[in-house]
Structure 1
Amino acid sequence: MEALPLFSVTRPLYLLGTPISKRFRVYFQQKDSPDRVLARKILWHWKQDGSLDNHDSYINCATLIRILSRKKLPRVAQELLLEMKSEGYLLDNSTLSAMMLCYAENSFYAEAEAIWDEILNHSLVPDIQIVSELIDAYGRLEHFDKVTRILNQVSSRDFNLLPEIYALAISCFGKRGKLEMMENTLKEMVSRGFSVDSATGNAFIIYYSVFGSLTQMEAAYGRLKRSRILIEREGIRAMSFAYMKEKKFYNLGEFLRDVGLGRRNVGNLLWNLLLLSYAANFKMKSLQREFLRMVEAGFHPDLTTFNIRALAFSRMSLLWDLHVSLEHMKHEDVVPDLVTYGCVVDAYLDKRLGRNLDFALRKMNVNDSPLVSTDPCVFEVLGKGDFHSSSEAFMEFEWKNWTYEKLIAIYVKKKYRSNQIFWNY
């Protein structure tokens, strides 16, 4: 099937706003709807381009249909296809599939289902990408009964892509928090003899982490373990965030140890989360002990590792430990970010040691451009320091070439003025 060139498909869209010529207006009857007028206008311009001379080849209008769908013009797309059919043009499957999605995304469900039924009744194997987009469209509109209908229809025809459609349905239900529907779909999938792959199993964990209770999440994790599927990075993060949100830091530590701190395919994620669980309650001895175990196990601390410790040292005013940590960073060639500078600045100004700040920063390159490279999960537990928050507000003014030195100078002046106001009052 020969598709039209992209410029031939999209060019009429640039002409939608042009006035209709007198010759062109004669072509329409007064009873025609505006949608049909617009569709005929597009078709007329295609004919003028010579793009629709051959009635024997299939015409691909999928790109145009998708654009009309995004512009909320499903009736124009419908009229265009009807006009082309009436003039004997052949429409390929991709065009019909695009029309089906156009209907679904614009809440014309009966029309979308009619095209879907036509595809199935002609024993055509639907394209998995089209099915994915259709299920996603129904999911966004929360028409879950239509997702179930698609699943049942494909299931009754025993297509080879059924396991993939089960996975799509599970994902659709999970993203919208329909845990019971997700659970039932998974059970049905397993009962039909299909195995749960790693992607689906980890997605299951993520959805329970976001929408379920900790008990439900832990039960889902237990089933994942029994199925001998490894929990992956996103699953680990999702479960960890659920524990953090409930401030269950002991449970978080137990979970991380159960996953296995020796796993290297997730980098330092497990160790960093474990250190964070101790830093959250400022258990400094445990924090130091686990950091040493991390190094002894052959893991190299990264920026997030150092900043978890630096934030804890800063909040506890442990200036010596903070300096030792900065020396270790330099030894490991880890470049500090805005969070690191904030730990130093906040620690010194909180202790009213602003005059010693230059000494504290002498081994750091204050002329660097500021950036934040720390894992965001750190801020979920420990929050952002005062210097960090203040600097981000200033950095929104992109017209200025900010450096750490400039941000520190402004912040110190701001703190000095606030102290003066306090004492004068």
Structure 2
Amino acid sequence: MRGIFHPRPLNGCAWTVSGVPTSTRCVLHSLVCRAPESSAPASKSHRRWFWEAAICDPHHYDLLLQSCSSDLDALKRIHSSLTTSGLIRGRPRLSSRVIFNYSGLGMLDDARSLFDALDCRDSFVWNTLIRGYANAGSSQEALQLYALMHNSAVPSDNFTFPFALKACATASQLLEGKLIHGQILRTGFGSDAYVEAGLVDMYAKCGDVRAARKVFDKMFRRDLVSWTAMITGYEQSECADDSLEMFLKMQKEGFVPDCVTLVTVASAVAQLGALKEAKSIHACVIRNGFEEDLSVDNSLVSMYARCGDVGLARRVFDRMSDRDRISWNSMLSGYSQNGHTRDSLLLFDQMKLSGVKPNSVTVLTVVSACACLGSLQVGKAIHRFIIDNGIEFDNTLRNAIVDMYAKCGDLDTAVQLFETMHERNTSSWNVIICSYGMHGYGKDAVALFYRMQDDGFEPNHVTFTCLLSACSHAGLVDKGRECFYLMRRTGVVPTVKHYACMVDMLGRAGFLDEARNLIAEMPSQPNDSVWGALLGACRIHRNLGLGEYAANNLFHLEPDHAGYYVLMSNVYAASGKWKEVGKLREIMRFKGLKKPAACSMIEFDGEVHAFYSSDRSCPDLGPLYRQAETLVMEIRGLGYLPDRSCVLHDVEDEDKEHILSFHSEKLALAFGLMHTSPGTPIQVTNNLRVCCDCHIVFKFISNMYRRKITLRDSNRFHHFEKGVCSCRDYW
């Protein structure tokens, strides 16, 4: 190699490179930038010789900078050499390359320092730093630099605008985006393909899909990026139908979707909950060879789960060759959102064994699953897991844990955790107000509402929903009316949920006419929850005429909701209208509707045991049924009389009593008495509203066996002790 180096003094450098072929220079770049430091004098001398030979050719600097894009140490040495030689000031392309490399390595402060030190800054230099800021997510810095460029009279070009627009999109700065759009039109770059794509993306991500579509429709040439930006804009604006329609148009024009497009359209289908379209998207994934793409697989799991088919979601999940935390979280959320809480907890155990570390999103999902299941022992174990593994407690997770303890029956721990919170937000207050309400402590919930305001927190629509529900459970009608009218004074407009709470509260208390008048005064159309609350009140007070009026509205709004047919049949049965009961059952059979099976659960020895009413499918249930019969016989001697009105069948009284003996609540209670020590509290969770007969039996058992018994039904908690229920027989 001796012949290709020639001595030529230049700015203090002893050697320069001349006539070196490109292949040889590339070898030299590698040696200069990547050769390890050595303590040997010969090695150091050799390295210095290569370096001194390389640094005096500006073209060679550019090649060196290209090869050192990921080596910060080499970059700083080259930067130092350029500064010493003075080349950094006179050659914008070299300075831009240094700025670009600093930006790529995340050293934006170094990039900005170099930029500020330059005397000569052309558009290329400005564009490079704006690009660096935009790609790093430093949107405000990018926009400030763009404004400075504009004020410095440096002309913007088709490389400037896309990155300025990207910064607007990242920061959702619609106004700034519109101003840049105006500058684009004034400078004549409105028809540039990259600028147009940037405009579509900016408007879409800022939520103005109409403006995005207007630009998109005027584009002369559309690429996959433009189509994907438009599809994403519709999806993020919750215009899922438009997003799916745009995806189909894109395919008709011959564009093949990439992984980004497929992830977006899967999310749009998930919003629609359209299982048929979900299967079509899955087929498209397979046709285009993306079934091994991790992000696409994760989106398929989430899509199927949100469409209600956890079976297909699990099949995709099980077939994945690689799973990350998002994969596990998506499947966990799918189980939890579809009511498969036990499967969610089992999958969480598998995740821990897989080596994938759960994060705050993971534990938030399983905490919510525990709350739904009412599993206190499992909930405590997960709480310990969070602490032991150092998972960060943000407000959302803290609130979820408070909610979990309350819904698992441990209100004392929920209150203790709330009181020891260092930071509370409005959601924290909403959770604890709701907790007191569901346990029947309406006065405490109201007191917390006023304390919340004294502490400087403004109630929102969720606060008033929790508060009105608490008043309803406790029968605090006057206080509920007061709170309802207080809403407007605090700037919260009553929604359908608030009217439903009011109808429920008034109806439970027997103010049926007032409830009906309130419905008539609603500013919007009442939904099924409003009419359902009125029908429930008619069942309690046996108002057949008003019940039929509410049911007719319900059947019109929700013609395939089995629960409303069952509720109306309860009203008919309570009035002895067995012919009408039969008609409703015939309608249900014709529609293929089934009454939800009553299921009660009890936790014992770390497992949740479920029982169904009159279920004799398991041969091991014989002793349990005998225990349930024994309990009924024992409390008969204390004055218990079965409430036969709870049996909605036109059968003999003896058969009704037999049916009552094996309600799921009684089976779960019998299991608890059989397997726990005397004096141990018992907690039962029921998926439906507890019937009057089971409520009576629980009171008798709590007194006879000296047990504290907690029952959580679909509406609230009942705490039984010494023959008395916390609800005071008002539920």
TM-score normalized by the length of structure 2: 0.31
More strand by share: 2
User: Highest Rg: 1 or 2?
Assistant: 2
